[in-house]
Structure formats: C-alpha cells, structure tokens
Structure 1
Amino acid sequence: MLRDKISNASSAATRIAAGDDKRTYDSFSIALHWVTAVLVLGQFLLAQTWGLTPRPTRHLMIVAHMSFGILLTAVLIARIGWRLLRGHQAPPPNVGWVEHAARTVHYVLYVLLVSEALLGFVLRWSGNESMSFFGLELPPPFPPFSKPAHHSVGEAHDLIGWTIIVLAGSHAAAALFHHFFLRDDVLLRMLPGQKRRDDT
C-alpha cells in the first residue's frame, strides 16, 4: 500500500515536471516546441562560452546570440498565437489537479521565456547599443539607462536564463523518466511522427 502511494506520488510529481496535462499536440505545436528547445539551449551555451574566446570570435558569438534571440522571440510569438487559436490543444474532460499543475509548469516556462526575450532587448538597448539580426541593426528606441539600472537588467537576464535552464532540464528529465521507467506516452506526445501507446 505504501509502495503504491509512493509510486503514484512519484508518477504525479514527474508528470507535473514534464508538463504533461494529457493534451494531444498537433505537428506544428511539436515543431515549435523542439525549435524552442534547440534555440534556448543554443542561446545558453553561447552566453556561457563567449567569455572564453578571443575578441573577434566573441563578437561573432554575441551577434549570433542577438540574432537567435530575435528568432526565438518570433517563435515564442508563434507558439502563443497558435495556442490561442480556437481548437488547438483543447484540454481533456475531467482534468485533475496533476493536469492543472502540469499546465502551470508550461505557463511558468512561457512567462520566463517571454521575460528573458524582452530583457534581452532591454539589456542591449539600455546600454545604448543596437540589436543585430544577422547584420540588420535595430537601434535603441529609448534613451540609455544609468549604469546601475543597466547592470540590474543584465543580472535579471542572467538569473532568468539559469532558471529557464534548470526548469527545462527538470522538464526533460521527467519526460525521460516517464518514457524509460514508467513506459507511458508522456514523451511520445511531443515526438514527431509518434503514436500514443494506447493508440497502437
């Protein structure tokens, strides 16, 4: 009895971490999900490694970080817009607390990603520098911030970036736990070209 309770609690906790609310995802949502994941990981790696490179390479990495950041912003807008369209990812009937909690995890990640994208723009512009999108310069639309304010924006950008990586890592680990240990369809629902286990 105790073992079953622990197993059920473990399953519920990892489903929440995996963001599994038992929704069925369409192919476009799946594509946007994986593009987001690749861009987020790439952005984080660029930010963590450009300080280890010589100046010319560092400049290219910073420009790439800005360019992919703008691309990520566009992907996030597409994801949010797609979710808001009627008929996409409708929740199943009789959703329980685990599904609500899992959906909350998704919303928290969305809020963090949008906040991080906005802070990226503000960080660059508050230092009186243009954003760059693959060579296209986007000048600041507002006056530069004071140095302390600019520094605070940078700290917030770093903190949220690390928070996203920790949550996204937990999200991925939970999905893998479900797939390899619990052997359910949590991960399959977000893999392209896969069918749910109960559909096979």
Structure 2
Amino acid sequence: MSSSRWSDSPVRYGLVTRLLHWGMAALFAFQFTGMGLKLALGRHPVSGFFVGLHKPIGTLLMLLILLRGAWGLSQWRRRPPHPRTLIGRAALAGHALLYALMFYVPAVALLRELGSGRGFAPWGIPLFPATGDKLDWLMAPANLSHGVIAWTLLAVIAGHVAMVALHHVFWRDTTLARMAGKL
C-alpha cells in the first residue's frame, strides 16, 4: 500500500484518519450502548459487562482523541477543505464541538479517578497510585458533568450522522465517500 493511502488528501481522508474515525465510532457506540443498557436494565449481567469495561474503554478513547487530534493537525493542510460558505463554517464549528466534547468527557472522568484516591489501572496499566486521599474538588467536575456532557456528545454525534445522511441522500455529494469510500 502506498504511503499516499495512509495520509489525507484534498479529495479523501487517508487510512490513518479513517481507522481512527471508525474505531472511535465503534468504541463510542459500545460506551453509549452500555450506559443505555444500565439505564434500561439496572444491575444486570448484560449491563454489568458493558459497565465493567466503561472506564478502560473511556481511557482508550482519551488516548485515541489525543492521537486523532495530533494526526489531524499534522494533516490539516492536506485534508478535504470545508467550503467557505455558511454551511462550511457550520460544519467546521460542529467538528470543533465534537472534538471538544470527545476530549472533555474522558478528561473529567480521569480527574475523578485521580481524585478518588483509589488508584486507577485500566487494562492493568497503573495510571494513578492508590493514595487513600479523596480530593472532592478534583472529583466535582466529573460528578457534575460527565454524564450530562456525554449524552450531549451523543446528541451531537446524532446530528453529525444526520448531516452526513443529508449530504449523501439529498445533496448527493462526496462527503460520505471521503470517509467511507474507496481509498
């Protein structure tokens, strides 16, 4: 596979961008499915499976959003441009909101883990040692906003998907093909 397939171009996103996009989409779907099942079923073996993986997958998503942000910045000049119209500016703002929310949700959750004093070792990798010292001020942002902002993120994702459908079905342009079409 040529190196040009890995990088973005003005007409399509490259393999790295696509893997990050669709991989993160699958992980977010897992996270939201789990929390939806928890709300619907309460304490149940099925919801317990998803909830048991929520923190490690959230940590993985945090790493991926950082990687995706760095990769996106490295590809900024190569990427398919947003049109210089009101719709193009709205798309740029919508993507910025998506990135901000994707960063915020796991970031405050990690702060909560740090402030809990219990230690945190997702996938067996110690990130924070157990100190036994609970820091309420560090936990407060996540306690107040993690869930609400996460569901807001889901609503913004639904809007993102709806706009892709609008582009594909009504405007019949290449927006979907740039991220899902042939390389």
TM-score, normalisation: structure 2? 0.77
Is residue 2:8 matched to residue 1:25?
Answer: no
In structure 2, the partner of 1:88 is 78
One-letter code aligned to 1:32: L
Please give the secondary structure, in 2, of the residue aligned with 1:134: helix
* 1:122-180 C-alpha deviation (Å, 9 max, x unpaired): 1223222333322334335884223x873552230011101100000011012112212
One-letter code aligned to 2:124: G
* 1:96-122 C-alpha deviation (Å, 9 max, x unpaired): 332122111111110111111101101
Structure 2 vs 1, CA of residues 111 and 44 (structure 1 numbering), >3 Å: closer, same or farther?
Answer: same
Please give the secondary structure, in 2, of the residue aligned with 1:25: coil
Counting matched residue pairs gives 170
Percent of pairs with identical residues: 23
TM-score, normalisation: structure 1? 0.71
Contiguous gaps of at least 5 residues in structure 2: 1-9
Structure 2 vs 1, CA of residues 29 and 155 (structure 1 numbering), >3 Å: closer, same or farther?
Answer: same
Is residue 2:158 matched to residue 1:172?
Answer: no
- Higher CA-based Rg: 1
Is residue 2:96 matched to residue 1:112?
Answer: no
Is the Cα contact below 8 Å between 2:17 and 2:68 reproduced in 1?
A: yes
* Greater relative contact order (CA < 8 Å, ≥ 6 in sequence): 1
Matches within 5 A, 1:125-164: 125-140=114-129, 143-146=133-136, 150=139, 152-164=141-153
How far apart are residue 95 of structure 1 and its match? 2.2
One-letter code aligned to 1:116: V
Please give the secondary structure, in 1, of the residue aligned with 2:121: strand
* 1:1-33 C-alpha deviation (Å, 9 max, x unpaired): xxxxxxxxxxxxxxxxxxxxx863222112211
Moved more, 106-115 or 183-192: 183-192
Contiguous gaps of at least 5 residues in structure 1: 1-21, 195-200
